[in-house]
Amino acid sequence: MELKLDLNREYGLVLEGGGAKGAYQIGAWKALREEGVKIKGIAGASVGSLNGALICMDDLDRAEEIWKNIDYSQVMSVSNETMEALKKKDFKSLNLQELIAKGFQLVKDGGFDITPLKDLIANVVGDEARIVDSDRELYSVTYSVSDHKELVVDLRKGEMGTVKDMLLASAYFLAFKNEKLGGKRYMDGGGFNNVPLDVLIDHGYEDIIVIRIYGWGADKERVVKIPDGTKVYHIAPRQDLGGILEFDKKQARKNLTLGYYDAKRFLYDLAGRIYYIDAPKTEPYYFDKMMSEMELLKLYMKDMIGENGLEALSGYRVFTETLFPKLALDFKLKEGWDYKDMYLGLLEDLAKRLKVKRFRIYTVEALLFEIRKKIHSLGEEPSF
């Protein structure tokens, strides 16, 4: 496998806001860090600012520990049991009278009490000198309600004692109780500039990696003009990361893993939509390989034309004109697909149906081996 980034260059990192989805960013950063990608600076909104602080301090162990063990009570003054019951709609286990009373109090107070989040930020940052003296720049986006304007805060240039406040200011989600910080009120920066790519461009960055998590307001993203000579790369999930306020350790651990492997996909230009496949050869190679593995194709043909029809198959036309167009629709291949796309779609569909382990980087041969091993373990050909 060949790395697509130049490790001699320094990169800016843009971290989107998205609350509980933020675990994905730490998984992606872990992969970048493993491969030696140099991070010069970070611009973040909301949870992106909090993760940015951890990256600025280069504290991967702490970042993983936080996200692997996150729960509702570490962010808001609520019961984990209550939030889980609400999520599962398990109303029998709830004390409705108490819940209603808390609901009225919540409205009266103006939102969830986030004292636990304040404590978490204080614990994460610890000595603010680790950020102020860091070699990495850190920009946090927030909105000053008091001044009626968006703010981009350079946290390395702030006075000691303000770093924690500005990180909290960027994360003041609408559902949270909003209290004054330094005599002013702030709102979640994600509501105004959730993907602060423009911040790094304005500061002269020419190589930028954007880690998407599709937080709130994704449909109202700011249009950013990319200057000539500036390269912008994206790492983004292809599946749902859960809710913005779904602070559940099981979901967070899934997102950590997904972020890690999606970053590997980006770094090595891996193929596959579900799996992570090193497939560097061209279309003719995969067409020949597909046609030489007739037993796999016949698993699909059996359901289409029956056992008797299989015996009558001859030539490639029945595949190219009948089977492949149908499978392209079934596999949801992009318009203009080629036979490499078809072959990899075939392998991924079989692997998914046979429950082959997803989170691993496969060569085509290794994935094919796992598929055949699964089929053999069934004792008979599966019917699709």
CATH number for the domain that contains residue 60: 3.40.1090.10
Helix, strand or coil, per DSSP, at residue 333: coil
Confidence at residue 302, expressed as pLDDT on a 0 to 100 scale: 64
User: How many folded domains does the chain comprise?
Assistant: 2
For residue 179, being part of any structural domain is answered with yes
Confidence at residue 95, expressed as pLDDT on a 0 to 100 scale: 46
- One domain, residues 344 and 368: yes
For residue 103, being part of any structural domain is answered with yes
Q: How far apart are CA 330 and CA 345, in angstroms?
A: 9
- One domain, residues 260 and 281: no
For residue 241, being part of any structural domain is answered with yes
Last residue of a domain, one of 268, 293, 313: 268
- One domain, residues 34 and 59: yes
For residue 220, being part of any structural domain is answered with yes
- One domain, residues 249 and 335: no
- Specify whether the CB–CB gap between 55 and 13 falls below 8 A: yes
pTM of the model: 0.86
- One domain, residues 286 and 260: no
* Candidate list 46, 49, 134, 140, residue with the active-site label: 46
- One domain, residues 232 and 174: yes
188 assigned to active site: yes
Helix, strand or coil, per DSSP, at residue 33: helix
Confidence at residue 382, expressed as pLDDT on a 0 to 100 scale: 58
- One domain, residues 236 and 258: yes
- One domain, residues 262 and 296: no
For residue 3, being part of any structural domain is answered with no
* Candidate list 140, 165, 188, 207, residue with the active-site label: 188
Give the range of the structural domain holding residue 370, as residue numbers without chain letter: 277-378
Last residue of a domain, one of 222, 248, 268: 268
338 assigned to active site: no
- Specify whether the CB–CB gap between 165 and 144 falls below 8 A: no
- One domain, residues 200 and 348: no
Last residue of a domain, one of 236, 268, 300: 268
- One domain, residues 177 and 291: no
For residue 383, being part of any structural domain is answered with no
Confidence at residue 349, expressed as pLDDT on a 0 to 100 scale: 93
- One domain, residues 264 and 288: no
For residue 318, being part of any structural domain is answered with yes
Confidence at residue 209, expressed as pLDDT on a 0 to 100 scale: 98
- One domain, residues 236 and 308: no
Local mean pLDDT, 10-residue blocks, the chain (384 residues): 94 95 97 98 94 95 93 68 49 42 43 74 83 93 84 81 81 66 76 92 97 77 91 96 89 97 97 96 93 78 56 66 86 93 94 95 96 82 56
| Cβ partners under 8 Å of residue 41, min gap 6 | 12, 13, 136, 137, 138, 139, 200, 203, 205
